[in-house]
Structure 1
Amino acid sequence: MRDYSKFYIGGQWVDPAGPGTFEVVNPATEDVAGTVAAGTAADIDRAVAAARHAFPAWSATTVAERSEVLHAIAEAYQKRRDDLGAALTEEMGAPRALANGFQLDLAAGHLAKAIEVLEHYAFSEQRGPTLIVKEPIGVCGLITPWNWPLSLIAVKVFPALATGCTMVLKPSEKSPFTGQLFAEILDAAGVPAGVFNLVQGDGPGAGAPLSAHPGVDMISFTGSTRAGIEIARNAAPTVKRVTQELGGKSPNIVLDDAAFAANVGKGVAAVTLNAGQTCSATTRMLVPRGRMAEAVEAARAAAEQVTVGDPTGTADLGPVVSAAQFERIQGLIQQGIDEGATLVTGGVGRPEGLARGYYVKPTVFADVGNDMTIAREEIFGPVLSILGYDDIDHAVALANDTEYGLAANIAGADLDQARALARRIRAGYVSINDGFDFSSPFGGYKKSGNGREWGEFGFEEYLETKGILGYAAAPQ
């Protein structure tokens, strides 16, 4: 039973301003796994004040000094991998192999990339008589979600540190354990007091005061579109920068070629990873209408090979994060059935033999219309919708017929065709055959957000641009 009763503010573990706490439920057992202090506006005030106090000195550090701190974090991070993996499994149900593997490796990858970008980035550039200078934006409020809790902290904190910003982090109340351990790692690495601060709590109690705070220069938020809209409203009166990575309903266009069945299977695996709790999951699979029957059988076979169960064991798929999430997914699966989609496999209810825990059956629907609820709404569970397309133009039209625009995938052997298709998709992150790159910009069009994360593109979100005119002496 974990008990996290202090916040990390000004380089110290301090008592919260109020007596409030919240419980964290293990989604695999439905038992309480820990109690965490709940922050308030008073705690946010203290954390922002600490960050503001630390900003002048930290923003004046050299690239070499900041790089040294980031390398120390990398060393401290490696020492806590086992602790972090266990926390991920306990708080949000990630299977052990996923928690100790890809979840941890993503965060480490973002740290390595932040160091690389920092050590090669041009913070100033002379253009004629003018010097263009990139300077840290100031105090950053970072609000992160529960689904990839460690990597989504890393992708904000590390570029903020690298650019010379100071910050206040508020992790999700559904997965706060990793945030607490992350603060311990930064403390052990010797991050100067006040540069990084941690306040736990929920959206109304801690997130809203942070996003509205006049002492915060930037808010970076990852989460639902609904919450992102509220954060933008809170931030508007202070005209602070707001970057948001929000929801998605991403398409996966499977091309008509010899690898068709294998690519359908890969698409099922992508949707069931992390129990489908991934904003960029390609949950709308678009297949040639004439090969729908083949797609159905390939998807059925792939989904029925996915093992569901105790995340501390060898199961591929653990539970979803909470009772509320479980009930929402069940309702959307039932809605898919009611609206006439063909249920290929899965469906409502827990998988056989799992009477306790928030486990969802890997579910595949076929013959889905793009106007159906399951094709329009982000389900955030292991649920795939297969839609038929008549030709490539129709596939593009279906792919873009969504209020979201976060990600997409093109699966097929014809690279020229895939490249041409990728250019036509209205999304910020388009993969060809599941391509992956830490240097790529990650972020969305439309209701999937604004701004970019990852690599140099995410780095620049934490910088202001200054022009110093007349910097060069006038010619004599």
Structure 2
Amino acid sequence: MSTVHANYIDGQWNESESGDTFEVRNPANTDEVVGQYQSSTRADVETAIDAAVAAQDEWADTPGPSRGQILKETGNRLAARKDEATETLVREEGKTRSEAAGEVQRAIDIFAYYAEKARDLGGTSKAPSAPGKDLYTKPEPLGTVGLITPWNYPIAIPAWKLAPALATGNTLIIKPASEAPNVTRIVFECLDEARLPDGVANFVTGSGSEVGAPLASNDDIDAVSFTGSTEVGTTVAQTAADDLKRVQCEMGGKNPTVVMPSADIDNAVDIVGVGAFGTTGQSCTACSRAIVHEDVADEFVDAITDYAESLEVGPGLEDPDMGPHVSRSELESTLEYVDVAREDGATVRTGGGEPDGDGYDGFFVEPTVVTDVESEMRIAQEEVFGPVLAVITVGDFEEALAVANDVEYGLSASIVTQDLTEANQFVEDVEAGVAKVNEKTTGLELHVPFGGYKNSSTNTYREQGDAGLDFFTSTKTVYMNY
């Protein structure tokens, strides 16, 4: 019998007033129910918002170093439970054990980073235009914020929203994705053990319509931070704009890696392969398009095909090269895109189906390489969110750059080249919030800004680093005539 997990509201673990729950199954073994969670209602969300609003003033008045100490202790307690959190993440989301352990460590590091940042919060001092005066700024918390997080990084993304929100003195309500809520719940157990005051942070599970929508529309919510699909993020942003809430949405991607003739092909294959097939392609920064110069296209395609065929696919707990999709719907979506690519005239060079044999009792898919792709095809334009790489052949650098920019998204982009002029021109002209040279499109440093251009973002505030603090604060300018 699986455990029934509660919401965390006003410092207490409570069941939803609905009395209903939903279950989460292991995507590598659908017979295994790994947990049951509250099917919360709008009334539950309103109770959580009321608790957060009531705790606002006291938490905002808590000195930054004291807030930081709670974050530090939270990270320490999470570190002590790293193995448990890692296995939980694998069983719910499907990542390989190595990928999950890396993500949990990322969350631990984020809490440590913002714990120190909380000690250093402050404004700037400016020179006044007359004697006997001071002129300075001070950051202030926004108030109560709503956080809506996705299933593909179910502990790292909640951490990089929770930690800066708390460090800057905000209270909050978080709605984790229903596919994988348990690692966020573990974070809340750590926050509770670190003696976070009641009401400051609240955890409510349930559907987007019952939990997510009220966070975007409730008048007592001062800001919303969302990560997920462009379709849902657009709705969240439009809803939040009705009462001028501050909003931050990081959404989809169709990320390219350009491979030029000067590239070492083995290195290029490693860069593209990890970017395309790591985390089963279920990353907003995954490499979805390899844009390859015609002089090295045949060599690259042969090598990336061998790379894909060499990958071991299996249950994440066995730590293969690639785990399953998170759900049946995600698997079906990926398979549908492969069919669409064939219909549009592309060639499935390898993969494109579900693997055969024993041990594939979940949502497994083969790493897939698609060639003969033209930029206008759907497989080259739409986010697949699976381990499917579209290879587009180009004649020169200018065409490569044009193809890289020929999508509605602009999240992450990379180039593999030994030509410094190409590298600098790519960084200058690529339409992406993250530009990389001789690196994979995935993988982010936690102390620098992250966000996209075009339909990858609301193009308001970035996440992580100091930018994460900026989103959760408002600047007050002070004129002091003494």
TM-score normalized by structure 2?
Answer: 0.94
Answer yes or no: is the 8 Å Cα contact 1:351–1:361 preserved in 2. Answer: no
Say whether 1:251 aligns with 2:253: no
| Alignment of structure 1 residues 56-75 onto 2, 5 Å | 56-75=57-76
Say whether 1:457 aligns with 2:462: no
Which residue identity is paired with 2:179?
K
Answer yes or no: is the 8 Å Cα contact 1:125–1:133 preserved in 2. Answer: no
Answer yes or no: is the 8 Å Cα contact 1:124–1:134 preserved in 2. Answer: no
The correspondence for 2:314, drawn from 305, 309, 316, is: 309
Of 39-48 and 124-133, deviating more is 124-133
| Residue 298 of structure 1: aligned partner | 303
Which residue identity is paired with 2:3?
D
Q: 1:415 offset after TM fit, Å?
A: 4.2
Q: 1:348 offset after TM fit, Å?
A: 2.4
Q: 1:94 offset after TM fit, Å?
A: 0.9
Q: Deviations over 1:14-67 (max 9, x none)?
A: 222211211112111112322111111101111111111111011112121112
| Alignment of structure 1 residues 311-330 onto 2, 5 Å | 311-330=316-335
CA distance in 2, matches of 1:303, 1:127: 60
Q: Secondary structure at the match of 2:172?
A: strand
CA distance in 1, matches of 2:411, 2:28: 29
Q: 1:173 offset after TM fit, Å?
A: 0.5
Of 289-298 and 244-253, deviating more is 289-298
Answer yes or no: is the 8 Å Cα contact 1:17–1:43 preserved in 2. Answer: yes
Say whether 1:338 aligns with 2:343: yes
| Residue 54 of structure 1: aligned partner | 55
Q: 1:366 offset after TM fit, Å?
A: 1.5
The correspondence for 1:241, drawn from 238, 243, 246, is: 246
Answer yes or no: is the 8 Å Cα contact 2:27–2:93 preserved in 1. Answer: yes
Say whether 1:210 aligns with 2:211: no
CA distance in 2, matches of 1:27, 1:80: 23
Answer yes or no: is the 8 Å Cα contact 1:269–1:303 preserved in 2. Answer: no
Which residue identity is paired with 1:94?
K
Q: Deviations over 1:109-153 (max 9, x none)?
A: 322332343333433434525322211111110000000100010
Q: Deviations over 1:198-226 (max 9, x none)?
A: 00111011111111111110000000001
CA distance in 1, matches of 2:192, 2:420: 47
Q: Deviations over 1:214-271 (max 9, x none)?
A: 1110000000001111212322222111100100001111222151232123211221
Answer yes or no: is the 8 Å Cα contact 2:96–2:318 preserved in 1. Answer: yes
| Alignment of structure 1 residues 284-433 onto 2, 5 Å | 284-433=289-438
CA distance in 1, matches of 2:217, 2:56: 19
Answer yes or no: is the 8 Å Cα contact 2:368–2:387 preserved in 1. Answer: yes
CA distance in 1, matches of 2:155, 2:3: 19
Answer yes or no: is the 8 Å Cα contact 2:79–2:105 preserved in 1. Answer: no
Answer yes or no: is the 8 Å Cα contact 2:68–2:117 preserved in 1. Answer: no
CA distance in 2, matches of 1:59, 1:2: 39
| Residue 131 of structure 2: aligned partner | none
CA distance in 1, matches of 2:35, 2:143: 34
The 1:403/1:460 distance shift into structure 2, 3 A limit, reads: same
Answer yes or no: is the 8 Å Cα contact 2:405–2:430 preserved in 1. Answer: yes
CA distance in 2, matches of 1:382, 1:393: 27
Q: Secondary structure at the match of 2:160?
A: helix
| Residue 20 of structure 2: aligned partner | 20
| Residue 471 of structure 1: aligned partner | 480
CA distance in 2, matches of 1:323, 1:334: 17
Q: Secondary structure at the match of 1:359?
A: coil
CA distance in 2, matches of 1:414, 1:432: 10
CA distance in 1, matches of 2:405, 2:117: 33
TM-score normalized by structure 1?
Answer: 0.95
Count how many residue pairs are aligned between Structure 1 and Structure 2.
Answer: 471
The 1:2/1:412 distance shift into structure 2, 3 A limit, reads: farther
Aligned-pair Cα RMSD in Å: 1.6
Answer yes or no: is the 8 Å Cα contact 2:75–2:109 preserved in 1. Answer: no
Answer yes or no: is the 8 Å Cα contact 2:6–2:13 preserved in 1. Answer: yes
Q: Deviations over 1:159-202 (max 9, x none)?
A: 10111111001100011111211111111111111111100111
Which residue identity is paired with 1:108?
I
CA distance in 1, matches of 2:472, 2:171: 10
Q: Secondary structure at the match of 1:59?
A: helix
Q: 1:367 offset after TM fit, Å?
A: 2.1
Runs of 5+ in structure 2 lacking a partner? 129-133
Q: 1:351 offset after TM fit, Å?
A: 4.4
| Alignment of structure 1 residues 185-200 onto 2, 5 Å | 185-200=190-205
Answer yes or no: is the 8 Å Cα contact 1:351–1:360 preserved in 2. Answer: no
| Alignment of structure 1 residues 87-166 onto 2, 5 Å | 87-100=88-101, 102-128=102-128, 129-166=134-171
CA distance in 2, matches of 1:119, 1:145: 29
| Residue 288 of structure 2: aligned partner | 283
Answer yes or no: is the 8 Å Cα contact 2:74–2:187 preserved in 1. Answer: no
Q: 1:377 offset after TM fit, Å?
A: 0.8
CA distance in 1, matches of 2:315, 2:103: 17
Q: 1:289 offset after TM fit, Å?
A: 1.7
CA distance in 1, matches of 2:425, 2:206: 45
CA distance in 1, matches of 2:307, 2:354: 20
